[in-house]
Amino acid sequence: MEKIKLMSHLVAGYPTDEIALAAARALVAGGADILEIQLPFSDPSADGPAIQCACTKVLSRHYRTADGLAFIASVHNEFPSIPIYIMSYGSLAYTPGISNFCRQAAAAGVSGMIIPDLPFDSDEGLTKACRENGMENIPVAAPSMSKERLSKLAKAGFPHIYAALRAGITGSKTTIDEATISFLEAVGQGGSKVYGGFGITGGEQSKVIAPYVEAVVAGSVFVRLISEHADDISALKKAVSAKAREITGL
């Protein structure tokens, strides 16, 4: 069976930069093709309990956007061939100025942005600023979108679209059914490549959606493993790599 591409989620600085870097190494060793690194945020709209808790713990250390970008730069320096996408929220990008934020991100080695609360057709200039800095904006499609709006997004010419496999927040296991597959097909109808995630916890789910996506996205499952093994880096690396291999089918 062909390897399934994996975009794996990591919270910058969780629980420390050293342990987060060890987790990034384990993800790459386990077959992750893309690293989606989240800048911690205090009031998320899409994150489930595991990621919310991780962000809260990092922010309690007075961790700033500059610290997150420095962490991303360290990961990029170690794995220059692995694309890194920033996942965060609009205010972190908007506060320093969208163009300035994108310029700093590109300098850290970022390839793309996933900002779920900046709609594709009202993004405060994010798509333009990404393009000017050699990155791409990856908008988020949700099953709650009307057919008309989803069609408009699908045909808007984005290289990639992130398809959230269900409404709500991340973390709970997602059931893949015919409606899920129809949604993925609708997201890709305009020719954009699709990243599919939200509640992917194992290989069984990834095998079902793999034919319909460019890469499977998994996040909370890795954040939970990092939390469980934070006091033993060797065990953390083994658990994270094993889960990545399971999801990719290696």
| Residues noted as catalytic | 36, 47
How many other C-beta atoms are found inside a 10 Å radius of the C-beta of residue 245? 17
The helix or strand, by DSSP H or E, that contains position 122, with its residue range, turns out to be none
Contact 198, 175 (CB under 8 A): no
Residue 146: CA count within 13 A, CB half-sphere:
3
CA distance 17 to 42: 18
User: Which string of b and e fits 84-94 if b means at least 16 CB within 10 Å?
Assistant: bbbbbbbebbe
Structure tokens given for 109: 């080695």
SS (H, E, C) 125-153: CHHHHHHHCCCEECCEECCCCCHHHHHHH
